[in-house]
Structure 1
Amino acid sequence: MELEELKKGWKMMDKQMDKLESENEAPVSRITQNRAVSSQQRLIREFQMMTSICLMTPFWIVMIQRNVEGFPDWTVYMFFVFFMVMAAHKGFIWWKLARLDYKRMTVKEALIATYKLEKYQKTGILFGISLAVPVLVCFIVELYLLHEVYALYGAFCGLLIGLYIGFRVRRRIKGEIKAMREALDDELD
């Protein structure tokens, strides 16, 4: 008698485990898809814009070099390398975002992809800062050595404005990724 009760209990537990596993492996619901896809589309536009800005900026630096006499080529090369690396990073994230298809993913897969996306973004920020500091220091030192006072003032103003815009964009991207993650977390629970 006890053996049959144990078998029945075991079968019931197996059924419950299968049910829980199938719920966790279920595709993302329509509401979550809509919330995640709208955040995804806003992020794609954001990264498209950042990629295009990073690709155009080296040409602006060349125009600055032509207007300032004695501006060294190696500083322009440093700017070029920095912005091409950043364009590659932003383009990579844009490509990853475009490949996400929440309609075909399970909740777990979508959540993992979102966490990876957030990791790529944070890594890019750290890498970008480590590249930007030497470039900016060299640029400001060169302007100082060339006695270009107004260009130096412009560089500092541009640095402050760029920091402000960068923090705003970073906060917006962080908010969109967080919205995607929360929508998926709600679906998983």
Structure 2
Amino acid sequence: MNESASTNTRDIILDVTEKLIYKSGIAATSMDLLVKTAGVSRKSIYRYFADKDALTVAALQRRDQRWMHWYRSAVDQAETPADRLLNLFAVLKGWFASEGFRGCAFINTSGETGDARDPVRLVAKEHKQKLLDYVCELCTEHGAEHPQQLARQLLILIDGAITVALVMGDHSAADNAQCMARKLLDL
């Protein structure tokens, strides 16, 4: 198999895995469903991934890279540091209203694991750390007196808004979180 076809097959497997896990969860995404939906053999999946856990981790790592790139790019379109901090929530609101919104893939999949050392939980933790680091970067640019503390508070608002939007079907959760962020930022 040539390298291009190999990369394409691997990408197809990862795309399908990510979509199925995001839609229905890890437990509901069987290897049989992956084979059927991706249109590849089980042998092809195991050529690239040792087991379902390794495949799940790879799909989540890929989602992390893509989601963080999308989120940063959208948030960074605002002009001033204060506007970028508020844009954290405006961007979320647009995501909440998008077709197929199912909340945070990392919160969702963490809920399926019981062990804090589970590789899926570790990927989720890495994702949240990257998000926290980005928010801290924005807080520092804004000139916050305690950027780490403010970033942790804003992360709670971000994750809270995502959870409320999913569970309650309330897209205005982003507006409510932004209102609370304004108070934290004295804006």
> Normalising by the residue count of structure 2, what TM-score does the alignment of the two structures yield?
0.32
Q: If you compute each CA radius of gyration, which structure gives the higher value, 1 or 2?
A: 1
- Report which structure shows greater RCO (CA 8 Å, sep ≥6): 1
Higher helix fraction: Structure 1 or Structure 2? 1
